[in-house]
Amino acid sequence: MNPPNFTYSGLLFAAGLICLLVALLIWQMRRPAKGAITLVVLLLALSWWDITYAIFWANLPGPSPHFWLDITYLGAVTVPTCLLIFALQLNSLENWINRTLFVTLSLEPLLVTLALWTDPWHNLFFGGQRELNAGMILSGGPVFWGNLVYSYVLILMAFILFVRSFLSSAGLYRRQFATILLGMGFTWLNSIIFVLGLSPLPGADNTPFSFTITALFFAHAIFRYRFLDIVPIARSMLVDNMSDGIVVLDAHNRLVDMNPIAQNLLTQAQIGDPLEKIQGRLPKSIRQLHNESNMRAEIALSDPVRYLDFRISPILDKRQQSLGRLIVWRDITELKLLQIELNELATRDMLTHAYNRRHFEKLAQVEWARSTRFKHSMAIVLLDIDHFKNVNDTQGHQAGDHVLAEFAKLCEQAKRNQDLFARWGGEEFIFLLPETQGEQALQFARRLCEIIYQTPINGEGYLATITCSLGVAASTTAHDSLEAMFRRADHALYEAKSTGRNRAVLWEGETQQSAP
């Protein structure tokens, strides 16, 4: 038996405690995540390997001279199996882990351990080459060499799967897998050191140290890059090149991933930032959605004007437990502006940009219902440009269109925000004045008549001074109707034109008031 080596024993015991601590932290903080339980088993196996090997080097007594060295093999044969299963899970290849594969992977460590402990009966593990004072197992029979090759094949397969994940991922996930690969590199470096006989721990097996270093890299990936915080979704470069913004939040509302489009909106945001930290830089319309877990909304942004189709979806594991949220938005500015343009074409007169008659009548019905319900007054002003045909005949239709457009601008400027204004047809226009009585509407018509008369319209090679005639009608009794108001306004307009034009007339049943 080797004399005690408390340096080796202390280092191994510390390594085992570190693996145990990391396993407990993962169990407490990341247990629902994909691969978390397998990683916990892997770390517990490493902890067993380190601590039992530490007891061996402390030279504590056991049931047999090689007991503490032999029992380390429980951890040594478990680690490669767990490593492969862990790699399959993180690569979303759980369907490969069927019952046959699981039994096969579990059976080999048990058979090897059984062959080790029963070697005196069959000599298949050590092949009669075991030395009494050896501090590690370096050679043996067919079972030893078969397990060695088998273990490194599993480790190589896991390594290849992690390389595959690294190459097919980007951003945060690439940094996660890069950390894992760097950690696994120590396992291969240890093998090279062993082959070359350059071990820094003479007489001892430094393999558990190399795997412990790998575990520490796993821990770094977990707590620095949020590894296992959320299921590492396989990403290709396509995600980074998408025109849609993509953000992934974990269950604690921390930012775990985003693509370049999202970075343009979330300026200066860093992976790992809580949502509360980056909320202040978000537009107010988006900021209000921070508690939503499943919704779709259309968001309007200003400076510059943009429209986003905004979607929030939950990310759930197989047990329907929340792992976080996926936020995706698509810039629909061009589509939205086209919709606005089409809506304008459907509701506006193309020449004057005033409401067209059809849309005005719809709005008037709504306003009439409101004024009737609340017993508010309402007035209509119908106006017609005097002798407009002369403009077309003397200056041409292009000049006539220009006069109509400028006339509409003057009317728009004269109305209140709540008033409705539309082109009624040809050179006729109409106002709807909510909460306005007849006398008030007549005063408005008089002012507008004066504005039109005092504002000559400049055209190419001509200066047109125009006038207009206005007919005013106001709601009267509870039994009045919008159609009756239109008729009274039309009567008033006819009266204004027949009595000299350039005037406003208020029609109230059989009587009317006129104003030049």
User: What are the tens digits of pLDDT across the range 303-361?
Assistant: 778 888 888 888 887 678 777 888 888 888 888 888 888 888 889 999 999 999 999 99
Q: Residue 292: what pLDDT?
A: 67
Q: What are phi and psi of 20, to 5 degrees?
A: -65, -45
Find out whether 338 and 406 touch, Cβ atoms under 8 Å.
no
pLDDT at 146: 86
Distance, in Å, from the CA atom of 435 to the CA atom of 437, rounded to the nearest integer, reads 7
Residue with tokens 């032999």: 70
pLDDT-flagged residues of the chain (< 70): 1-4, 30-34, 92, 94-95, 128-139, 168-173, 191-192, 194-206, 222-241, 279-292, 318, 478, 509-516
pLDDT in tens, 376-393: 999 999 999 999 999 888
Q: Which amino acid is at 490?
A: D
Q: Rounded distance, CA 191 to CA 206, Å? A: 9
Q: What is the pLDDT of residue 304?
A: 76
Domains of the chain, with CATH numbers? 6-224 (1.20.1070.10), 237-337 (3.30.450.20), 348-515 (3.30.70.270)
Distance from C-alpha of 484 to C-alpha of 494, rounded to nearest angstrom: 15
CB 12 within 8 A of CB 36: no
E-assigned strands of 90-184? none
Q: Given the structure tokens 């590894």, which residue do they identify? A: 227
- The pLDDT of residue 128: 66
Q: What is the pLDDT of residue 231?
A: 46
Q: Are 239 and 170 in contact (CB under 8 A)?
A: yes
Mapped to the 3 state alphabet, what secondary structure does 318-370 carry? CCCCEEEEEEEEEECHHHHHHHHHHHHHHHECCCCCCECHHHHHHHHHHHHHH
422 neighbors 408 (Cβ within 8 angstroms): no
Residue 228 gets which letter from DSSP?
T
Token reading at 244: 């849609």
213-227 residues labelled b (16+ CB within 10 A) or e (exposed): bbbbbbbbbbbebbb
117 burial level (CB within 10 Å; 0-12, 13-18, 19+): middle
| Residue 276 structure tokens | 């509360």
At residue 425, what are phi and psi to the nearest 5 degrees? 155, 135
Distance, CA of 149 to chain centre: 46
CA angle 150, 206, 163 (to 5 degrees): 50
Q: Is 381 left (phi over 0), alpha (psi -120 to 50) or beta?
A: beta
Containing H/E element for 313?
Answer: strand 306-316
3-state secondary structure of 128: coil
What element of type H or E holds 380? strand 378-385
Could you give the 3-state DSSP secondary structure of residue 471?
A: strand
List Cα–Cα distances, 203 to 134, 135, 145, 194, in angstroms.
8, 6, 20, 11
DSSP for 231-262? ------HHHHT-SSEEEEEETTSBEEEE-HHH
**Residue 382 DSSP SS3:** strand
Find all residues with CB under 8 Å of 343, minimum gap 6, and list them.
none
Number of neighbouring beta carbons within 10 Å of residue 188:
14
Distance CA(378)–CA(488), nearest Å, equals 13
Other beta carbons within 10 angstroms of residue 393's beta carbon come to 11
d(CA 377, CA 440) in angstroms, rounded, equals: 11
For 152, the token pair is 């490194």
